[in-house]
Amino acid sequence: MSIAKTYNPKEAEDKWYSYWMENGFFRSIPDEREPYTIVMPPPNVTGVLHMGHMLNNTIQDVLIRRARMQGKNACWVPGTDHASIATEAKVVAMLKEKGINKKELTREQFLEYAWEWKEKYGGIILKQLEKLGASCDWDRTRFTMEPDLSDAVIDTFIRLYREGYIYRGVRMVNWDPQGRTALSDEEVIRREVNQTLYYVRYAVTGNADGAPSYLTIATTRPETIMADTAICINPNDPRYTHLKGKTARVPLINREIPIIEDEYVEMEFGTGCLKVTPAHDLNDYELGQKHNLEVIDILNDDGTLNEKAEILVGEDRFKARKAVAKLLEEAGQLEKTEPYQSQVGFSERTDAAIEPKLSMQWFCRMQELAKPALEYVLNGDVKLIPDKFINTYRHWMENIKDWTISRQLWWGQRIPAWYNAQNDWVVAKTEVEAVSLFQAEGKSADGIRQEDDVLDTWFSSGLWPLSVFDGTRHPDNADVQYYYPTNDLVTAPEILFFWVARMIIFGHEYTGKPPFKNVYLTGIVRDKLGRKMSKSLGNSPDPIELMEQYGTDGVRVGMLLSSPAGNDLMFDVAYCEQGRNFANKIWNAFRLVKGWEIADIPATSAQQEAARWFGNRFNQALHEIEGHFAAYRISDALMATYKLVWDDFCAWYLELAKPAYQQPIARETFETAKTFFASVLRLIHPFMPFISEELWHDELFGVRAEGDCCIVAEYPQAGEYDEKLLTDFVALQQVISEIRNLRNTKQLSPKTALPLAIHATSDIDFARYAESIQKMATISEITFAVQKPSGVASFLVGKDEFYVDVAQNIDVEAERERISKEITYLEGFLKSVNAKLSNERFVQNAKPEVVANERNKKADAEAKIKLLEGSLASL
């Protein structure tokens, strides 16, 4: 097999991914094992992989691979979402390029184009996930608009309608004039925008002599004055008492409107007079309802003015704004303008400014449905990770509003409502059923037609954890019984309400259970300047290119290293580089072991001690790693793994076990090293699936049986470990490090062996480690002394003294200074300890073990000072 000096990921990646697929390792079918299930947040079917997907799916893959290795029946369900607005917008744009206007097409014709588009671009993102190594059960791939899932959506609509949750009504909705559809509140992004505040004069009719014949109103939307149906003043406003009961005339069109009074008007804002435009502003609409005002809607669906505006008919709303301002100025009715900043809503999908618009829509009543969904999170049945999101979730669920579920689009599930010629309507799955429903109500079904609108995409994604297992239609089927509720959901906090909350709601509605136990909320991937990565900014690296450059394992490690739970991550390719380097480190460690020549000789003391220590250290680290996983601290789990492999395994274990130059290795040590290596491979597999699988199959391990793969090997289980042995070894490492440092500061070559004398008073058995010290610190011989020899450098580890004969290199002055410094430090330390111990209140109030600990510290410090003073004297 390969002995290349650097790891070449590309070959391994293609090879092993297809091998896993061929062997069905990703496949899951219900059996007697414990299930572990994740449903993938379905990406937009026509989308491409971005950094957010990479992060999200890497985490899911780590969780699923680990569960699989732990012997659970791991099932990761992939799929895509039809994303109605986004996809329809793309198709419309594509048609436009071809010179086809959507309006000229029938619904059927349009959908044909849309499906064609979906077929062409639909699979891209899933292919990209394969490159990432995602071990999903591809046989279970679902699409929210495939027949079964659409069926589930329609059934759910009918079910909720029959239960009284769904209704139809005229409401002020967020209208996207570009997408020509209503949007839910969550799809509207508010941004601070620089605007102009126009001060417009309205003529007042029937005013008494002497009073001004006009009033002034401040508005950011002069183009809507033609839709004004009242002027409103605050009844407590002394400036406007003369206006009470009067009427005013709308400028330019001279329509007469009443002046009404309502405390809603803020006297401080603008002029204190408010124009009331019920058709084009939510607050005005409510005011209009209260005061029974007429509603005049002057806008078409595409944002142009209609004939009710009387002037500028057909003009776009923003052009009309400027035109009206100009006309007002010419008419002398524009008093002044001033710059003004305010929040404006924009469509998440098309970025068009949202127009509040009255329209007939379908709604889902949410208040009652939200209650159990909130309860699950509050009582911990559904855990949000990190839990700081519980508050946000609660706030939203407690203030939830009805959900606008209809969208004026064609791409999506068509609402199962049917109208007759008289516009009466019924809700039914089929036309035949609808006809009989009409008849049952004694109404004619003549001219029957289906509702044109489709359902919000989130309505179908809300069913996702159930519908992928066909759980809405066949609640008793084996899959849903086995896999539902799923275990973990990994998604972005931005869609906690859009999606997560609705899945919980629907899950409860159908099964009385929440759809998952844990929701891991990842952060947003930002660039190192903290800006969100986006196509328009061009600050996002191409994930595929990254994987080409650093290897998939490297990129996976890079993503996770920079990703503490729940925090946004400041991505930098340097992390991927670190990941690549890590893979390369493992590769080279493997080359070392592979290169050993085996002989039937006894293991050296260093080799024996190394094996004894690493076995314990591995178990200790495994406990830490388990703890991190249990708390979903994936990046900490990875970092602990990284340090275990790089520092403990490579820098300490292998260095100790390594035979002398051109010497063979004891068979026993070789076998142990191989066993450790195999454990390391199993441990890193969830993070680095490719290199671990590649090495797993190396001939070093002999011929692997069919199906003996790292992906399904048993995940290492944390065993017992000897704490004393591990702390002793830490002291040993300190000794070695001190000697190396000594050599470094004295500018001695690392090759010259130095003699070491040890004066140990602790219970650490240094004789046992003598050979290890010699090997790691290049020591010629070790003696055990009682007294400090003269003319040597010394250092202290714990209570034990070490003397290194650095020959003539001893600089007495420097040594004196170093020791004095250490004494000063210890004296300071001792002082602070004594201060505590002589403080009666401390001794009385502090916990006994804390006090005892302070006494130990005191004794230790005193002993050390004594030793150091001895050293100083002997210089």
Residues 307-346 that bind RNA (CB under 7 A): 343
Provide the minimum distance between the beta carbon of 754 and RNA in the complex, in angstroms, as a whole number.
Answer: 13
Listed ranges 355-363, 402-410, 636-644, 671-679: which one lies at the site for RNA (CB under 7 A) = 636-644
- What 3-state class would DSSP assign to 786? coil
- What 3-state class would DSSP assign to 191? strand
Closer to RNA by Cβ: residue 426 or 634:
634
Provide the minimum distance between the beta carbon of 466 and RNA in the complex, in angstroms, as a whole number.
Answer: 25
Closer to RNA by Cβ: residue 190 or 513:
190
Out of 31, 210, 536, 661, the only residue in the binding site for RNA (CB under 7 A) is: 661
Closer to RNA by Cβ: residue 202 or 613:
613
Listed ranges 369-377, 608-616, 697-705, 843-851: which one lies at the site for RNA (CB under 7 A) = 843-851
Out of 105, 311, 651, 865, the only residue in the binding site for RNA (CB under 7 A) is: 651
Q: Assess contact for 201 and 335: CB atoms under 8 A.
A: yes
Out of 267, 518, 829, 870, the only residue in the binding site for RNA (CB under 7 A) is: 829
- What 3-state class would DSSP assign to 794? strand
* 422-451 positions binding RNA, by CB under 7 A: none
Where helices occur in 562-707 by DSSP H, the ranges are: 573-595, 605-630, 634-643, 655-657, 667-684, 689-696
**Three-state SS sequence of 121-162:** HCCHHHHHHHHCCCCCCHHHCEECCCHHHHHHHHHHHHHHHH
* 567 lies in the site for RNA, by CB under 7 A: yes
Closer to RNA by Cβ: residue 421 or 852:
852
The two beta strands, 247-249 and 355-364, are unpaired
Out of 269, 318, 784, 825, the only residue in the binding site for RNA (CB under 7 A) is: 825
* 569-628 positions binding RNA, by CB under 7 A: 569-570, 572, 574, 578, 580-581, 583-585, 588-589, 591-592, 595
Provide the minimum distance between the beta carbon of 7 and RNA in the complex, in angstroms, as a whole number.
Answer: 6
* 508-547 positions binding RNA, by CB under 7 A: 528, 530
Closer to RNA by Cβ: residue 479 or 738:
738
Provide the minimum distance between the beta carbon of 634 and RNA in the complex, in angstroms, as a whole number.
Answer: 12
* 718-747 positions binding RNA, by CB under 7 A: 736-737, 740-741, 744-745
State the Cα–Cα distance between residues 73 and 35, nearest whole angstrom. Answer: 5
Provide the minimum distance between the beta carbon of 338 and RNA in the complex, in angstroms, as a whole number.
Answer: 18
Out of 335, 470, 568, 722, the only residue in the binding site for RNA (CB under 7 A) is: 568
Q: Which residues contact residue 242 at a Cβ distance below 8 angstroms, ignoring those fewer than 6 apart? A: 207, 208, 211
Provide the minimum distance between the beta carbon of 596 and RNA in the complex, in angstroms, as a whole number.
Answer: 9
* 175-204 positions binding RNA, by CB under 7 A: 185-186, 190
* 494 lies in the site for RNA, by CB under 7 A: yes
Out of 124, 267, 846, 863, the only residue in the binding site for RNA (CB under 7 A) is: 846
- 582: tokens are 């890590």
532 labelled as ligand-binding?
Answer: no
Burial 322-347 (b: 16+ CB within 10 A, else e): ebbbebbeeeebbbebeeeeeeebbb
Q: Assess contact for 779 and 756: CB atoms under 8 A.
A: yes
Provide the minimum distance between the beta carbon of 181 and RNA in the complex, in angstroms, as a whole number.
Answer: 18
Written as one string, the DSSP assignment of 535-569 is TTTT----HHHHHHHH-HHHHHHHHHHT--TTS-E
Closer to RNA by Cβ: residue 704 or 831:
831
What does the angle CA 608 – CA 614 – CA 618 come to, to the nearest 5 degrees? 155
Closer to RNA by Cβ: residue 300 or 562:
562
Out of 246, 365, 517, 857, the only residue in the binding site for RNA (CB under 7 A) is: 857
Provide the minimum distance between the beta carbon of 359 and RNA in the complex, in angstroms, as a whole number.
Answer: 18
Q: At what angle do helices 689-696 and 573-595 cross, to 10 degrees?
A: 10
* 131-160 positions binding RNA, by CB under 7 A: none
Out of 341, 675, 761, 832, the only residue in the binding site for RNA (CB under 7 A) is: 832
* 367-406 positions binding RNA, by CB under 7 A: 388, 391-392, 395-396, 399, 401
Strand partners, 191: 344
State the Cα–Cα distance between residues 319 and 561, nearest whole angstrom. Answer: 50
State the Cα–Cα distance between residues 63 and 685, nearest whole angstrom. Answer: 11
* 262 lies in the site for RNA, by CB under 7 A: no
Burial 643-672 (b: 16+ CB within 10 A, else e): ebbeebbbbbbbebbbbeeeeebbebbbeb
Closer to RNA by Cβ: residue 413 or 457:
457
Provide the minimum distance between the beta carbon of 498 and RNA in the complex, in angstroms, as a whole number.
Answer: 8
State the Cα–Cα distance between residues 227 and 706, nearest whole angstrom. Answer: 77
How many residues sit close enough to RNA to count as binding (CB under 7 A)? 76
Q: Which residues contact residue 201 at a Cβ distance below 8 angstroms, ignoring those fewer than 6 apart? A: 214, 215, 216, 251, 332, 333, 334, 335
Out of 68, 658, 682, 685, the only residue in the binding site for RNA (CB under 7 A) is: 658
Q: Which of 616, 588, 610 is nearest to 775 (CA)?
A: 610
- 352: tokens are 């068009």
* 750-809 positions binding RNA, by CB under 7 A: 750-751
**What phi and psi, each to the nearest 5 degrees, are found at residue 277?**
-125, 80
Provide the minimum distance between the beta carbon of 41 and RNA in the complex, in angstroms, as a whole number.
Answer: 17
* 6-35 positions binding RNA, by CB under 7 A: 6-7
- 63: tokens are 């969780």
Provide the minimum distance between the beta carbon of 561 and RNA in the complex, in angstroms, as a whole number.
Answer: 6
Provide the minimum distance between the beta carbon of 637 and RNA in the complex, in angstroms, as a whole number.
Answer: 12
Q: Which of 177, 190, 96, 172 is nearest to 350 (CA)?
A: 177
Residues at the binding site for ATP are 535
Residues at the binding site are 535
